[in-house]
Amino acid sequence: MIDLRRHNTVLVGHERYFLFQTETRWRMVHDRCPHRGGPLSLARRTPDGRRLSCPWHGTKIGVAALCRTALPMVRSGDEATVVLPGTSQDAPVSVIRRRILANLPPDADAETDPTDCNSSTGSAQPH
């Protein structure tokens, strides 16, 4: 169970997943660009809002494609239960809060500080 008021990122062993906001719902997606592994949580939406631009190489990843690979998740109020991929019983699992640039609107200020952890998960506007 994840408290969405306090956490938006799940670490499972060496893999990271983050809560990604679409037009209709929240999804738990892999924080890894399929091109070269860049952190998609730090990607910015393209002006049309339909793709993310990887922060490492600018590779464009479609939001629809990203959502098709989202982990199964059930949300109830401010809590969510996520089905994690087949992992070893020994793999450490942590939940943390960090700034998710991919959830900002396409026209958001490009100078937003990615290390600022004081934003709310549901916020679509930079402070």
- Provide the pLDDT for residue 88: 66
- Provide the pLDDT for residue 111: 42
Question: Is 40 part of a structural domain of the chain?
Answer: yes
What is the model's pTM? 0.77
Cα–Cα dist 113/100, whole Å: 10
Question: Is 87 part of a structural domain of the chain?
Answer: no
Distance of CA 43 to the CA centre of its chain: 9
Q: For each of the chain's 127 residues, which pLDDT tens digit applies?
A: 889 899 999 998 889 999 999 888 899 999 999 888 899 999 999 999 999 999 998 899 999 999 999 999 999 999 999 988 876 677 788 999 999 999 998 865 444 444 344 433 343 333 3
Question: Is 22 part of a structural domain of the chain?
Answer: yes
CA distances from 63 to 4, 17, 24, 29, 78 (A): 21, 15, 12, 10, 23
User: How many domains does the chain fold into?
Assistant: 1
- Provide the pLDDT for residue 14: 87
